[in-house]
Structure 1
Amino acid sequence: MPETNALLRILDANLDRAREGLRIIEEWCRFGLNDEDYTAQLKHLRQTIARWHTPDIRAARDTPGDLGTGLTHTQESVRHSLGDVLQVNLARTQEALRVLEEYGKLYSQEMAAACKQMRYQLYTLDSQLMGDFLTAMDVGTRRMEQLARSRTYLVTSPVPDLLGVVESALKGGIAIVQYREKSADDHTRLKTAQQIRALCHQYGALFIVNDRVDIAAAAEADGVHLGQQDLPMAAARKILGSRKIVGRSTTNPQELQRALDEGADYIGVGPVHETPTKPGKSAAGNDYVRYAAAHATMPWFTIGGLNADNLGPTLAAGATRVAVVRALMEASDPSAIARSLVEQTQQ
């Protein structure tokens, strides 16, 4: 029956996907980390999945007739770091196991239950492996690996309970926080920057300071974010050193190219929509997002009037990372909004 054949093809594709993803991770644990425990765990998971890959499932395979073999995305052709390779394949395997769990219920309850348990095991292994991977690196490399893995970015604005909002967003999974303050005195800025940095590091997030390289240095931030009219990147690196992150705002292809030429570690792409955060700045729209998806070779974050409800078209245009301001700073439940952003950018 057509439905049965389609089910078997779905199982076949995702059994292959899970096995391939696990093998990529296993190879690094074996040859890169020389870690016997991780290698054994991953090999066991891979062999367990292989036992479910039976001849009747394989027989349903129709590679020439599979529409998915001709589909690709620009992000699939680029890996920014070794950590990115590991994280992408951990996520890929988890997704495949989820598919096997759901469709497996129509094929074998035992298979569905086994895939569910393996998915939970992989969640734990994900946290342990990536934590150990980052710990093994020097601080500068660790920052860059963490940047490459990050998908969500909060830019602060002045609110009565700034630290409370930031902590709530961090609890929801925000990966980077940028402290942006245009009017406070420098003593207040430094103190607040130090407090936010402590929160970020408590929750395993990166901390960036907007514009002010001196405040970033004094607060021991992970880096600085520069606008088009701020210091040249070479000057910022001279002050901060080579192990800090330096990002740059861009609003058009010419600015993107300059950021590439000066070696920005990441860029902002936007504003996608007009926003009061940048008064008088016209929207760059999703056309610029599509351009960035095709040309940016460093991590890039879409920004500008984005929130959990309107992010879909921007993701469809090729974005995989998002930076927000009001969507979190003015939210009644920043944790819930942060979780939604994390979920959408990981799909």
Structure 2
Amino acid sequence: MTDKQNRTLPAQPALCRILDANLDRSREGLRIIEEWCRFGINSADLAAECKQLRQELAAWHTAELRSARDTPGDPGTDLTHPQEEQRSSIQHLLEANFCRVEEALRVLEEYGKIYDPNMGAAFKQMRYRVYTLESNLLAYRRYQQLLRSQLYLVTSPRDNLLQVVEAALQGGLTLVQYRDKTSDDAVKLDNVRKLCELCHRYDALLIVNDRVDLAIASDADGVHLGQQDLPVSEARKLLGPGRIIGRSTTNAEEMQRAIDEGADYIGVGPVYSTPTKPDKQAAGLDYVRYAADKSPVPWFAIGGIDINNLDEVLNAGAQRVATVRSIMEAEQPTLVTQFFISQLIRMQSLKAQKAQKALQGKT
């Protein structure tokens, strides 16, 4: 009997049950992802792609497949795994459901070849679209988180690294950079992986200083490059479009070059002299004012900023700041983090009120 003749026979109940279960699984997973696209990040385009995929799947979900369903007789309904019982963060939830959808589509692609000659090809293309959706969503989510982040913690090597960072995360921190110029690579990789898991648990981003390889190996959210590091374009080739790339700048020329290269954000400084970079001359508040007026990309004032000089940095036009010692060496990192964030929010509110009054004065 030929393959064509085989396909004209009624489908086996087991085959229909497999297709039905995986159509359900993929549609449910896409709906969970769609809800975050719609309500979590307010992306109409990404939500629309999820909905379109769900509708295309629904078109294949025929009465014949649904009628084969036998939930009471399915031994898989009692199977579970401890990891399925908990979700530590939004990122974990999204990753789990993308995995669920992609696996289901692969099953549909293979078994669908038996059920309908066109089914395998259709689900193969859907699977590739879901891969693209996943990349776009993660990139979009990371960038939106970057835009929302006002305080940036750059770490320094210390025995209680994880404890200090977690204390800052508990204070509302959403952006961390792992910086360590002295430890062995094995230690760095171990630290980055632990920090990545910790930051993602708090829905925060983790950026790796300098090392593209460590960022890739740990699945970190991006890298921060100094002036002597890889060009942004080369880092992008290695990291792909979904991760964040930042660049340190100390003057207007370096700023423009970083923007032209495609940096997602820039560091502006050092504003003050700092032992973190003893060989760097302070760029001063004039450069902060220049960045406030000229930079089209998000930027963080950095270098020697603490609770005593924060106001003058904000008054110079900074809306985002990065700090090292103020948090890493603090006795109470949570409280210091909360203070920084409260001052940043206060200044943002004052500027908004000032802009509104100016607008009202023109009417």
* Interval containing the TM-score (normalised by the shorter chain): 0.5 to 0.7
1:261 aligned residue: 260
CA deviation profile, 1:190-218 (whole Å, cap 9, x unmatched): 11000001110111110000000000110
- In the alignment, the residues of structure 2 paired with residue 334 and residue 217 of structure 1 have an alpha-carbon distance, to the nearest angstrom, of 29
Whole-angstrom CA distance in 2 between matches of 1:82 and 1:185? 42
TM-score, length basis structure 2: 0.59
Cα distance per residue 1:156-206 (max 9 Å; x no partner): 001121111111111111111000011111111111000001110111110
Q: Structure 1 CA distance, aligned partners of 2:345 and 2:258?
A: 26
Structure 2 distance, partners of 1:246, 1:210, is 10
* Per-residue Cα deviation, 1:71-95 (whole angstroms, up to 9, x for no partner): xxxxxxxxxx979xxxxxxxxxxxx
AA paired with 2:339?
Answer: S
Count of matched residue positions in the alignment of Structure 1 and Structure 2: 223
CA RMSD between the two structures: 2.2
Q: Hey, what's the Cα distance between the residues in 2 that align with 1:325 and 1:301?
A: 13
Q: Distance in 1 between matches of 2:192 and 2:231?
A: 22
Q: Which position in structure 2 is the counterpart of 1:316?
A: 315
CA distance in 1, matches of 2:341, 2:212: 29
Question: Which runs of structure 1 show a deviation greater than 3 angstroms over 4 or more consecutive aligned residues?
Answer: 134-137
Q: Secondary structure at the match of 2:256?
A: helix
1:295 aligned residue: 294
Shift of the 279–236 alpha-carbon distance from structure 1 to 2, 3 Å rule, reads same
Give secondary structure in 2 for the equivalent of 1:153.
Answer: strand
1:177 aligned partner: 176
> Which consecutive unaligned segments of at least 5 residues does structure 1 have?
1-31, 39-80, 84-130
Q: 1:218 maps to which residue?
A: 217
Alignment of 1:186-335 (within 5 A): 186-335=185-334
* Alignment correspondent of 1:44: none
Specify the code of the residue in structure 2 equivalent to 1:208. Answer: I
The CA distance in 1 between the partners of 2:191 and 2:142, in whole Å, is: 22
Specify the alignment match of 1:156 in structure 2: 155
Instruction: Give the structure 1 partner of residue 54 of structure 2.
Output: none
**What's the TM-score, normalizing by structure 1?**
0.61
Give the CA deviation at 1:309.
Answer: 2.2
Report the Cα distance in structure 1 between the residues aligned to 2:182 and 2:42, rounded to whole angstroms.
40
Q: Distance in 2 between matches of 1:159 and 1:322?
A: 22
Q: Tell me which residue corresponds to 1:143.
A: 142
Larger gyration radius, structure 1 or structure 2: 2
Write the deviation string for residues 284-311 of structure 1: whole angstroms up to 9, x where unpaired: 1110000000111111000000012210
CA distance in 2, matches of 1:140, 1:260: 18
For 1:187 and 1:273, locate their aligned partners in 2 and report how far apart those are by CA, in whole Å: 33
Amino acid at match of 1:262: E
SS state of the match for residue 300, structure 2?
strand
1:138 partner SS:
helix
Question: Is 1:346 the equivalent of 2:361?
Answer: no
Residue-by-residue CA offset, 1:48-101 (whole Å, 9 max, x unaligned): xxxxxxxxxxxxxxxxxxxxxxxxxxxxxxxxx979xxxxxxxxxxxxxxxxxx
Structure-to-structure mapping, 1:76-95, within 5 angstroms: none
**Partner Cα separation in structure 2 for residue 341 and residue 175 of structure 1:** 13
Q: Which residue of 2 aligns with 1:121?
A: none
- Segments of 5+ residues of structure 2 without an aligned counterpart are 1-36, 44-89, 95-132, 347-363
Q: Which has the higher contact order (CA 8 A, sep 6+)?
A: 1
Give the equivalent residue in structure 2 for 1:27.
none
Q: Distance in 1 between matches of 2:289 and 2:159?
A: 37
Q: Distance in 2 between matches of 1:235 and 1:263?
A: 11
**Code of the aligned partner of 2:176:** V
CA distance in 1, matches of 2:191, 2:168: 16
Pair 82,308 (structure 1): closer, same or farther in 2 beyond 3 Å: farther
> 1:231: how far off?
0.3
